[in-house]
A = this chain, B = another copy of it.
Amino acid sequence: VFLENIETFITQLNSINHINLFLTELKEEDTSCTMYPRPEGSPSQTPSVSGQKKVDVVCDALRKAMESMNPNKFYLSILTAYVKKTVPELEVALQKVHELRENPPAAAGAVSAEEALKYLLFLVNVNDLYEHSLGTYDFDLVLMVAEKSQKDPKEYLPFLNMLKSLEPNYQRYTIDKHLKRYRKALVHLSKSGEEHFTEVLQLVKEQKLFSEALKLYTTDSPQYKRLSSAYAEHLVEQQQAEQAGLLLWRCGLPARALQAFTSCSSWRNAICVAQQIPLPTDQLALLARDLAERLTEQRRYSEAALLLDQYAKDCEEAILALITGAVWEEALRLIYMHNRQDITETNLKPALLEAVNSQTGFLEAQVATFTRHRSRLAVVREQKEKARLDMLDEEGPDCPDAELYSEASSVMTASKYSQSNSRISSRSSKNRRKAERKKLSLKEGSPMEDRALMHALSEIISTVDKMREEIHSLLKSLVLFQFDKQAEKLQLVYEEALQTMEGAVPEVWPEALLNSNTPVTGPNSTANSIMASFQQQQQQKPAASQLDPEIPTAPKMKNGVKWKLTILK
């Protein structure tokens, strides 16, 4: 309503002083919220107009109204509206004063440039105004402000004279840099001639304006190349070697790109750039071996094998890498491709038998740990439940020690966790999670032992469940080489492991644990207190959306993945 009636507002105030007072007293604060309590059920927040700040919206609206009504009469108020914006538009205000001095209006009672400048100096710190006048690159304006500013001419005149002597773009760059406007400085410097490119590079490095700088040069220029090179150096320091490599490659620095790609195991790019150089075959082979070694360390055996096979031309090493990585089918493919069936006997079959043994042993160990944790969890829960009931018995239903009760009773509904969570909610969520995890200990009798056990059980389930594809592939290879007995044993052990874990889920994660709110019920509660607490919860809903991430939830098993072989029974 206010914005629709600006002119009426101005007319009714009918005083430049009052309008100035109104403008200078504007605050971003919404006093309809902060000074008066909000009636219930009203919308929680007035949406601001297109994300703009209230002060800016009001200043602009008033200024535009005054400019259309009588720009001469409201001259000082218009200046105020510029200056009082959240980011003061001092340059525009100064420009207006400058125009006023150049073309004084004929109208009677119009403000003089002198008066206007005095008023500005009253509103704004003189040094700010001087700096901003510099920022307009208009030396007349600078001098006008400087003269009014009580500044010592011996101080500013040499600087201004020096500036005047400079090439226009270099002049603007010098001013921008003086005002710490580095982006603008970069643009002006880049236009000031090739001889200043060293300064460009220095500015870009100091202020990390790499992306901005690249946009100022054509991609085929030598400057673009030098900037890319500097940027790449910076990116490597920032652990972004792959992006560095891309910049170096595209600007025509393949040798350095190769180095960058190699350092971060970006092997496809490394090989491409090496072939573009082009690296001689023997060096390409060495590169491929180097990359393959890095990939093997990262357990990326398939990729390592590709490099060894296709670029190092060493099919034997490639096949061995695949066997090490349990990539059975691909190993066999290379064996047949290179007609190296001898490796089937010497390496593949022994590796398959070793794999079936180690997988079977691993699964048995996992099931044993799982069963132990599960039994222990039942014991811990029973003990906690017993402790809760004992406490209830001792204290009686009207016990005043409600806090103690709630602490104990919460064990079974997991709200203990959300309580401990709220205690440290001021910390960052990362720190909190770290702190939470520290508290989890599987040691018998540790206060959160139940939670630690649930966490451990969840991890075992995930680990075992994730093995479906791996087991399926191993079973197929075992069958192919007539190791049916070993395959049958593994299939049985894995199936039993999955069944044990799936069967335990309802016991380990009973539904109640998913309801993590503090219990609203208890011996002290009345129907009214509970209702109140319930309504409070409803109101808190949006804020309460961050569930304690540390309550281990029931893992979802990938039962859709078919891994069993029907030919094994």
Question: Cβ of A505 and Cβ of B545 under 8 Å apart?
Answer: yes
- Interface positions, chain A 391-428, Cβ under 8 Å from B, are 412
B541 touches A530 (CB 8 A): no
Q: What is the count of identical protomers in the complex?
A: 2
User: Could you tell me if B511 and A275 are in contact, using CB atoms closer than 8 angstroms?
Assistant: no
Majority secondary structure, A binding face? helix
Segment from A158-166, A368-376, A473-481 that makes contact with B: A473-481
The verdict on A466 contacting chain B, using a C-beta distance below 8 Å, is: no
Q: Shortest CB–CB separation between residue A287 and chain B, in angstroms?
A: 13
Residues of B within 8 A of A514 (CB): 514-516, 547
Q: Which residues of B contact A202 (CB under 8 A)?
A: none
The listed residue (B505, B534, B547) touching A521 by CB distance below 8 A is B534
Judge if A542 is at the interface, Cβ distance under 8 Å.
yes
Using known A-B contacts A250-B482, A530-B525, determine if residue A336 contacts B512 with beta carbons closer than 8 Å.
no
Q: Is B541's CB under 8 angstroms from A329's CB?
A: no
If A336-B276, A525-B527, A567-B247 touch, whether A519 touches B534 (CB-CB below 8 Å) is: yes
- Tell me, in angstroms, the Cα distance from A479 to B544 when the chains sit together: 42
**Most B-side CB within 10 Å, residue of A211, A310, A521, A538:** A521
Residue numbers in B under 8 Å from A521 (CB-CB): 520, 527, 530-531, 534
Chain B residues within an 8 Å CB radius of A519: 534
Closest-by-CB residue of B relative to A214 is B484
Question: Do the beta carbons of A567 and B231 come within 8 Å of each other?
Answer: yes
Residue among B231, B482, B527, B537 making CB contact with A527, cutoff 8 Å: B527
Closest to A531 in B: B521
A271 touches B211 (CB 8 A): no
Q: Does A216 contact B (CB under 8 A)?
A: no
- Closest chain B residue to A511, Cβ basis: B544
Residues of chain B within 8 A (CB-CB) of A542 are 506-507, 510
- Asked if A219 lies at the interface with its beta carbon under 8 angstroms from chain B, I say yes
Would you call A506 and B476 a contact (CB within 8 A)?
no
Interface check A150, CB cutoff 8 A: no
Contact of A526 among B211, B271, B516, B527 (CB under 8 A): B527
In the assembled complex, which residues on chain B have CB atoms less than 8 Å from the CB atom of A569?
211-212
CB-contact partner of A547 in B276, B335, B511, B547, under 8 A: B511
Q: How far is the CA of A568 from the CA of B243 in the complex (A)?
A: 10
B512 touches A238 (CB 8 A): no
Residues of A512-569 contacting chain B, CB below 8 A: 512, 514-517, 519-521, 523, 525-527, 530-531, 534, 537-538, 541-542, 544-547, 565-569
Which A residues from 468 to 516 make CB contacts under 8 A with B? 476, 479-482, 484, 505-507, 509-512, 514-516
Task: Kindly state the separation between the CA atoms of A56 and B510 in the bound complex, as whole angstroms.
Answer: 35
- Chain B's closest residue to A219 (CB) is B482
Minimum distance in angstroms from A123 CB to a CB of chain B: 36
Tell whether A157 is near chain B: CB-to-CB under 8 Å.
no
**A235-B566, A243-B567, A250-B479 known, 11 other contacts, Cβ within 8 Å:** A240-B567, A243-B566, A250-B481, A506-B545, A507-B545, A510-B544, A511-B517, A515-B515, A515-B517, A519-B534, A520-B521
A residues lining the B interface (CB < 8 Å): 210-212, 214, 219, 231, 235, 238, 240, 242-243, 246-247, 249-250, 268-269, 271-272, 275-276, 310, 329-330, 332-333, 335-337, 339, 412, 476, 479-482, 484, 505-507, 509-512, 514-517, 519-521, 523, 525-527, 530-531, 534, 537-538, 541-542, 544-547, 565-569
A–B complex contacts, Cβ < 8 Å, 18 sampled? A211-B568, A231-B567, A235-B566, A243-B476, A246-B476, A250-B481, A250-B482, A268-B333, A269-B329, A271-B336, A272-B332, A506-B542, A511-B545, A511-B547, A512-B544, A514-B515, A515-B516, A515-B517
